[in-house]
Amino acid sequence: MKALIQRVKEAKVYVEEKMVAEIGGGLVIFLGISKDDTSKDIDYLVSKVINLRIFEDEKGKFNYSLLEEKGEVLIVSQFTLYGDCRNGRRPDFTKAASKDKAKKLYLEFIQRIKKENLRVAEGIFQARMLVDIHNDGPVTISLES
């Protein structure tokens, strides 16, 4: 399981020119799920994401986590994180989970984040989305279980 996280001032998701989700300050999580992932991968990534100290203190040092900041979360499924570009010119997505497995684990990930008493918004699984992100820093971190 892969998560590309961005610290944001705000973010919105649009589907067919209609806004379907938005958050204020917090994290956007692009979540990629592989065919080998399980609930254990979710446990690892949820713990890492909510406790990762990437929010600044009064001196500008990364000292606060999402939980401490009480930040908001926008979760967007992103199978393209499993695009293998080592051979040829077109990404190979054979390591990405099947649609059914990916949706199940994506929804489980969302529920686990919600259990942390954070405000959670989400994209629409398998929709073509426009994600409007105001990256803060910019801070972008790649995590993998």
CA atoms within 13 A on the CB side of 89: 0
What is the pLDDT of the chain when averaged over all its residues? 97
Asked if 80 is an active-site residue, the reply is yes
Residues 34-83 pLDDT 10s? 999 999 999 999 999 999 999 999 999 999 999 999 999 999 999 999 99
CB atoms within 10 A of CB 1: 23
Which CATH fold topology does 2-144 show? D-tyrosyl-trna(Tyr) Deacylase; Chain: A; (3.50.80)
What is the number of residues in the chain?
Answer: 145
The pTM for the full model equals 0.95
pLDDT at 103: 98
CB atoms within 10 A of CB 41: 19
Q: Are 129 and 74 in contact (CB under 8 A)?
A: no
**Distances in whole angstroms, Cα of residue 29 to Cα of each of 23, 81, 90, 92, 141:** 12, 12, 25, 22, 10
Q: Which of 38, 80, 94, 140 is catalytic?
A: 80
Q: Which of 20, 43, 27 shows the shortest CA–CA distance to 125?
A: 20
In the DSSP assignment, the letter for residue 58 is T
